[in-house]
Amino acid sequence: MSLAKKTLRELDPSGKKVFVRVDFNVPLKDGVVGDDTRIRAALTTLKHLLASGAAVIAASHLGRPKGQMVEELRMAPVAVRLQELLGADVPVKTVNCVRGNQVQKAAAALQSGELLLLENLRFDAGETENDDALAEELAGLADCFVQDAFGTCHRSHASTAGVPARCKPAVAGNLLEKEIRAFEQVMSQPEQPFVAVIGGAKVSDKILALKTLLEKVDCLMIGGGMAYTFLKAQGHAIGSSLCEEDRLDTAREVLAEAAARSVEMLLPTDHVVADAFFENANTQVVAGDLPSGWMGLDIGPETKAAYAAKLAEARTVVWNGPMGVFEMEPFSHGTSAVAKALAESHAVSVVGGGDSVAAVKKNGLQAHIGHISTGGGAFLELLEGKVLPGIAELDDALSD
């Protein structure tokens, strides 16, 4: 899949209706947007189009209604916040459905400089099924398509893949272009040393990314529950820690591949362990093998220091996944330590994945990270080298 796609710079939206796939999947509480980060992230694209004389039809999913109308997941609160952010000069209009006469009439009546926000796309079962009829109808509302929802680009849904296949030209919005540029910067021509930090619960979730990264990095640092599958594969005792028994051979293959490529592979040497998987469990720090009945839930101080030292030397860093059970405060410190070390480094850095991004934000380090990805699953699939339907269907950039 080529990541070289046409962008807003190659689109003349004046006098046209533009379908923009945005990612407004934001938290709602009591009918109010709790965190408007994703709405703000789309503003540069929306403002550019509106100021250029386009009539914008914006569409997003919200939550997982599974093809049913769920009152608590309506887009109305999002429209209210979007109106506040765009200002009174930009009329934000809404419809309470995804397709049909109401949508078609509202889109047809939309004037330049106005924005129409469709209802939650996933209220229609055809969205996640990439239904041809839904894609045809949505594509028929507009003259061109802009993809700015990187977080959903790995989904072959009607609005992400079906519409851009039918509505041309189809280009990348500013947010998506930023994601692509950041990814290419670190993966195509990284400055050495190149360090990848990979965490999370399971080796099986990250195996393709690990294999891709081994072809590019100088050092691979492992954390989270997946580390214990690797440690057991090396012959270490891991107590009652999470372990994928059916992935031990896979872990050995990764270790062997790293050795064959002279990639330094760092695993935790000490651990914050607990006697049960809950926040108020008894804990202790253990170096080396873990005692029976105890589970590793975070990296220990020795490992934190070693990982920080390696990050201080790095010139390029990719980070995806937590070092421990980040959602439990006693086991969040390893992930926060990596975030702080990365912020203090001079490396070109890209961070993706929910807990990794949360750690950066929790510690107020956003300004010190090169790029914070807006798409966890999409970011990981890019690392794996997979085709992302929401990007693949966009028009390729003209070669020089």
Q: At what angle do helices 203-214 and 248-260 cross, to 10 degrees?
A: 10
Distance of alpha carbon 39 from alpha carbon 33, whole angstroms: 10
Residue 285's DSSP bridge partners are: 272
Residue 238's DSSP bridge partners are: 290
DSSP 189: S
3-class DSSP assignment, residue 55: strand
Contact 24, 62 (CB under 8 A): yes
Query: Which one of 53, 113, 354, 370 is the catalytic residue?
Result: 354
Residue of 19, 26, 25 whose CA lies nearest to 45? 19
Distance of alpha carbon 62 from alpha carbon 85, whole angstroms: 19
Query: Which one of 93, 168, 202, 261 is the catalytic residue?
Result: 202
Compute how many other C-beta atoms are within 10 angstroms of the C-beta atom of residue 356: 29
Amino acid at 259: A
Distance of alpha carbon 105 from alpha carbon 344, whole angstroms: 53
Residue of 390, 387, 383 whose CA lies nearest to 206? 383
**Does 38 qualify as catalytic in the annotation?**
yes
Q: For residue 294, what are the CA distances in angstroms to 227, 237, 246, 264, 279?
A: 15, 11, 21, 28, 14
Query: Which one of 47, 211, 377, 386 is the catalytic residue?
Result: 377
Query: Which one of 16, 17, 38, 74 is the catalytic residue?
Result: 38
Distance of alpha carbon 46 from alpha carbon 50, whole angstroms: 6
Amino acid at 395: D
Residue of 333, 373, 343 whose CA lies nearest to 357? 373
**Does 377 qualify as catalytic in the annotation?**
yes
Compute how many other C-beta atoms are within 10 angstroms of the C-beta atom of residue 39: 21
CA angle at 200 for the pair 196 and 180, rounded to the nearest 5°: 50
Q: Which structure tokens are listed for 147?
A: 């993809």
Strand order through the sheet with 295-299: 283-287, 270-274, 295-299
Q: How many CA atoms lie within 13 A of 278 on its CB side?
A: 3
**Does 155 qualify as catalytic in the annotation?**
no
**Does 15 qualify as catalytic in the annotation?**
no
Residue of 280, 298, 292, 299 whose CA lies nearest to 240? 292
Residue of 85, 104, 106 whose CA lies nearest to 22? 85
Q: Catalytic residues, which ones?
A: 38, 202, 354, 377
